[in-house]
A and B are shown apart, each in its own frame.
Chain A
Amino acid sequence: YLMSGQASHPQANGNMGNFSSGDGQVHENPEWEKARQALASINKSQSSAKTAQAGQFQPAVTDSAAIQQQQQQQPQQYYPWYQQTQQHYPGYTYPYNYYYPVGPPPPVPGMEDQSTGYPSQSQPPPPATPQQPQSPTTSEKPPPPPPPPIPPPPNSQYPPPPSQNAYSANNSMQYPHGDPNQMQAYNHSQGRPNYGQGFQAQHTYQPSQNTSQQPGQYVPGLGRGEANKNKNQKQGQQLWHRMKQAPGTSSVKFNIHKRPYQVQCSSMSNQSFPPGEQPSGLNPTPSSPSSASAAPGGAQTRPQDWPQAMKEYVQRCFTACETEEDKDRTEKVLKEVLQDRLKDGSAYTIDWTHEPLPELKVKQSRWESVASQRSSDGSISRGGSAVVASPRGRGGAHRLGHYRNIFSQRSPSSSSSRSSSRSPSPSHGRNRDRSNQRHRRSDSGSQSDSSISSDLRPQLSRRSQRGGRGRGNDRDRGRGGGVRGRGRGGKANRGRRNMDDSNPAVGKKRKGGNAGLDFHDPNREAKKQSRAARFHKQLRSEPLVLSINSLDLPDGTQEGLSWEDCPIVGTCQDITKSYLRLTCAPDPSTVRPVHVLRKSLQAVKIHWKTHHDYTYACEQMKSIRQDLTVQGVRTDFTVEVYECHARIALEKGDHEEFNQCQTQLKALYKDNPSENIGEFTAYRLLYYIFTKNSGDLTTELVYLTPALRADVCVAHALALRAAWALGNYRRFFKLYKEAPRMASYLIDKFVERERKVALRAIAKTFRPDLPVQYVQSNLGFSCLDSCMAFLTGLGVTFYPCDPQKIDCKTSTAALAAS
């Protein structure tokens, strides 16, 4: 048909000729996309049919649009013509093309160019729905429909009179654009997509759009179109990456082009045809000779010849869909099914009205695989899913894998590109459910090895199946394989599974034939679910992507933003600022720059010295710290701030703030050595003594450099630690009294504790008595009174005759009790 198209084109198009080449590339292989579109349009038409008619869009039309329309009318003449031709293919032709590269040799880039003939005419425009208006339908209806979010009106399928095309063309475009992903999916499923070609095709296609716009017809749409184009290209590229490996898809890619035509038809059809006939739109008449020649399969599959019942069946299938994904899947399935049916003629004998709707959810993977490998097997059975069983080998499994990924990626885009007018109707839903059940039952019946139908005893049968594969639960495992003999091994079972999901009617059992990598198990989903239930966890709903994508993580680039990464510089000039915990990105106008902060620090210090108002000081210090953090300032000044705050907090016994400062200081000292590093290291050591954390203490010791050990504070802390470790209270309290800087504040925290321990030893050691004096001097009491208070507080008893002497024997018991 390519050839013929070309031939016809020049004449028809006249001036448009130049563009044809660009378009042509795109147009080559109509098969799948067309079918898809057709199906989609049916669907849409149905949903929208009742409500929206062409008229609906008119109001939105603008003058300019009208003009454009008129301009377009010229080109429109041709549309009908090739629409018909092209529409032949949707469903059925595909196989032929695919297998016997008869007509249009598998798209070779060169060839594509030739094929262009048609496309150029259609030029249709840019994709997005909104643009519909520009390409108003026929001249009769000048007012182009406004960008209705809703896809073309219902009955559109009908290859209508020539005039209407323009309008629909726009509509149709929207598909290609919106669905690039879908396309990809297709390619994948088909297994040997020649990816590169596909990609190219898409690419080229878009340019053609541009050119088409030049004529001025689509002016308004231009911007949009371009945007879409970009999008398309992008997607195309994605596609490319993904699909590289699978050569041979080529046939698919070009479909995009053709969609437009189809859609056009459909849009037109709304008006002309009664809803009931909608389905027929799927199979536009193939009458044009060119088309016939091009697509060998055409003869068999003429849409016109489709049985009405079958059309209705298609319609039913779509109405049963609840989500976009469902529809996509249904499309694929139907394409397969209908092709097969038509090919072998069963389409005319089947009782379509009783044909079960395809089962979508459970078997999607299966559909995919079937689609990918055309079954050459003429015996189409009508059972279950109405899908022909096809031998699936490893390839299928691989593809399946692809599919999983693609699918999830695809869904968003497809849903967005398609307008939303299809609303699920409850009754349909029920319908589908019922049919699903039916399928399942038949499937399970075919599993000869599990005697119990999965429907009735899903749990059981599932388990037994699993047993053979080593995934069984414990009991199964214990028994060594469960119901199925293990001897047969996993492969055999897996092979069996393949059988299971293929149509029961086919019935030839292949055991282990395609062992290996095939995973189409009708119950797989169910199994997964049950397994998930067992483990109380959600099944992976998305393809597995490890969360550790980060080979570059080591540079720390992915570790989340640190303040250094996005520095801001404050502009606030206030010396004082109250502290508020940040809940959002900082506003520079409320952040003080460093030079202001220096003043702030001074102010706080003075205020602290004069007022000793810790609440105020702490708040001010925190706000200073915050401003520094936010600006990523880590300098000597930062160190100074933290040291200052640490000291103030220490003085007031604010552990929390002190420790925060200590943590920060430890990190800061690495880059900003301060003269106080020894002091704060000592504090850290002392703090570990306080917490009795010998592990951290040891760690700290590891990192003490000789220079640091020589530091007065550190040396003191180390000596104190040694005394503490040996219970040498004499030395401990001597050091306590000599504590440099603010160390005594820290020691204060555990001095009582150590006194108690020491006193126990003392009371046990000395007999018969001990002057309080000794305790006072050895345990570091500054005066006798405080010592006496401490002793009496612990229940120490004194000799009645000499209150200055401790009765050690009786005190020992009291101390042991305390």
Chain B
Amino acid sequence: MAHITINQYLQQVYDAIDNHDGSFCAELLSFKHPHVANPRLQLASPEEKCQQLLEPPYDEMVAAHLRCTYAVSNHDFVEAYKFQTALPVMFSVTLDLRIFANSAEQQLQKKGKGQPGEMLEKAAEQLMSCFRVCASDNRAGIEDSKKWGMMFLSNQLFKIYFKINKLHLCKPLIRAIDSSNLKNDYSPAQKVTYKYYVGRKAMFDSDFKPAEEFLSYAFHHCHGSSQKNKRMILIYLLPVKMLLGHMPTHQLLRKYDLMQFADVTKSVSEGNLLLLNEALSKHETFFIRCGIFLILEKLKIITYRNLFKKVYLLLRTHQLPLDAFLVSLKMMQLDDVDIDEVQCILANLIYMGHIKGYISHQHQKLVVSKQNPFPPLSSVS
């Protein structure tokens, strides 16, 4: 395979198309296939050959692919291409497209050229046009409808949109998939990917309950051997879970090499604000790069709650002087805190339902409910 001539290669492609052998065809067009290393296929202008052997639109696709092998062999990633139809083929091509757009992007960035995200946006446009084609395929029967390509495409688009921070563009995709009657019948792999992104999106929108649902689904259905993917899911699932009061075990963190969360977990459950601040700043880069720093920051609220709960448990009364909370915060080395801020923090906790009670401004006391003043986190929000 590695040494076939261009004609043999094209013949194979033709036969594959002929025999409806989509997966083989996709292989032939994928960059994971060994043929890409074949110098005989790395042509600068394969259009003519392809045109002779294949009919449109395949000639264009294959030509673009070969052109790409040529470009890649020259370490030149700034290429993009078009394509249409034939789902498996499209899948591999789009995947390559995205990867190349990525590489191209990096290359451009290194050279300081171009707007950030430009290449990716172009790629996204292409993908979007494919998505529309797929979504609007109403004629074909259900079993070979192009709609089967929707989820794959939307997953690819998610990847791009997340990369370029255009999360709002995900909405129409999600709506389209949700309204699709096929949404439960896609392949598990696609569904896992899809849920992963939808869950992330929900998390960024602060819809933590659905986020937990999607991400949990993704985590549980993710293939056991893809540790890397599971880890990626966990990176987002953990903060969500913690916000909802479920703390990960040490073993889990160790298993997936996510020990950055260890201190965070510990400090949150202990109400140790000091430790939390340390942990966050220590791994700030990691968290920021994962895009979860702002989420983890919200854990402070949980930490406040846990801290104040300790105060309550210590004082064993339902009427808690605000000064007591101030002292506890000062203990956490928050030196610039004043009584107003204590009231503010308490107000937020009460407002969010983490504390059942009220503040008497006149008496400067927090009056908590006699029953279950600190309801479990999972029941809140």
Contacts and interface: CB of A to CB of B under 8 A. Distances in A.
A730 B341 contact: yes
A540 B56 contact: yes
Contact of A478 (B7, B114, B141, B291): B141
A543 B20 contact: no
B323 interface: no
Interface string B78-92: 111100100000000
A528 B56 contact: yes
Given A478-B141, A490-B15, A544-B50, A767 B67 contact: no
Nearest to A762: B347
B97 to A, nearest CB: 12
Contacts of A695: 165, 167, 204, 291
Contacts of B359: 765-767
A769 B20 contact: no
A778 B51 CA distance: 73
A560 B21 CA distance: 41
Interface in A677-725: 693-699, 701-702, 722, 725
B316 interface: no
Contacts of A474: 139-141, 144
Contact of B358 (A559, A697, A765): A765
Contact of A766 (B81, B141, B361): B361
Contacts of A471: 17, 55
A774 B361 contact: yes
Nearest to A728: B344
Contact-size category for B: 35 or more
Interface stretch (B58-66, B212-220, B227-235): B58-66
A765 B351 contact: yes
B52 A405 contact: no
A369 to B, nearest CB: 12
Given A540-B56, A696-B165, A766 B48 contact: no
A490 B12 CA distance: 12
A470 interface: yes
B289 to A, nearest CB: 6
A553 B144 contact: no
B360 interface: yes
Contacts of A544: 47-48, 50-51, 56, 59-60, 63
A749 interface: no
Interface string A38-82: 000000000000000000000000000000000000000000000
A402 interface: yes
Interface stretch (B180-188, B243-251, B264-272, B297-305): B297-305
Interface in B66-108: 67, 71, 74, 76-81, 84, 104, 107-108
A397 B63 CA distance: 17
A130 B338 CA distance: 98
Nearest to A519: B52
Nearest to B75: A554
A405 B344 contact: no
Contact of B300 (A553, A726, A766, A777): A726
A727 interface: yes
B288 interface: yes
Interface centre among B144, B341, B346 (most CB of A within 10 A): B341
A761 B76 contact: no
A553 B78 contact: yes
B63 A546 contact: yes
B294 A698 contact: yes
A490 to B, nearest CB: 4
Nearest to B346: A765
A227 interface: no
A548 interface: yes
B280 to A, nearest CB: 11
Nearest to A778: B340
A129 B56 CA distance: 41
A693 B144 CA distance: 40
A701 B76 contact: no
A31 to B, nearest CB: 27
B67 A546 contact: yes
Nearest to A475: B141
A551 B165 contact: no
Contacts of B345: 728
A761 B348 CA distance: 6
The listed residue with most B CB atoms (<10 A of its CB), out of A489, A546, A555, A774, is A546
Question: Size range of the interface on A?
Answer: 35 or more
Nearest to A704: B288
Contacts of B15: 490
A703 to B, nearest CB: 10
Contacts of B37: none
Contact of B144 (A477, A697, A758, A769): A477
A400 B55 CA distance: 13
B361 A771 contact: yes
Interface string A555-571: 11001000000000000
A428 interface: no
B48 A548 contact: no
B144 A478 contact: yes
B53 interface: yes
Among the interface residues B47, B74, B77, B141, which one has the most CB atoms of the partner chain A within 10 A? B47
Contacts of A516: 11
B294 A764 contact: no
A731 interface: yes
A394 to B, nearest CB: 8
B224 interface: no
A764 B114 CA distance: 51
Contact of B114 (A559, A697, A726, A774): A559
Among B51, B84, B360, B367, the one with the most A-chain Cβ atoms within 10 Å of its Cβ is: B51
Interface in A447-477: 469-471, 474, 477
A404 B49 CA distance: 11
Contacts of A764: 347, 350-351
B81 A546 contact: yes
Contacts of B172: none
A609 interface: no
A698 B51 contact: no
B293 interface: yes
Given A470-B19, A761-B348, A726 B298 contact: yes
B175 interface: no
A815 B265 CA distance: 36
A697 B288 CA distance: 10
Nearest to B358: A767
Contacts of B51: 401, 404, 543-544
A533 interface: no
A694 B294 contact: yes
Nearest to A695: B165
B347 A761 contact: yes
Nearest to B58: A471
Contact of B80 (A477, A548, A726, A778): A548
A589 B26 CA distance: 58
B335 interface: no
B49 to A, nearest CB: 7
A668 interface: no
A276 to B, nearest CB: 44
A729 B74 contact: no
A543 B52 CA distance: 11
Nearest to B68: A548
Given A490-B15, A695-B165, A695-B167, A556 B111 contact: yes
Given A546-B47, A554-B76, A774-B361, 15 more contacts: A544-B50, A551-B76, A554-B77, A554-B104, A556-B108, A556-B114, A695-B167, A699-B165, A729-B344, A730-B341, A730-B344, A731-B344, A761-B351, A765-B350, A777-B340
Interface of A: 397-398, 400-402, 404-405, 469-471, 474, 477-478, 486, 489-490, 516-517, 519, 528, 535, 539-540, 543-546, 548, 550-551, 553-556, 559, 670, 693-699, 701-702, 722, 725-731, 758, 760-762, 764-771, 774, 777-778
The list of the 3 closest CB pairs from A to B, nearest first, reads A401-B52, A761-B351, A490-B18
8 contacts: A471-B17, A544-B51, A548-B81, A556-B113, A695-B167, A761-B348, A765-B346, A767-B360
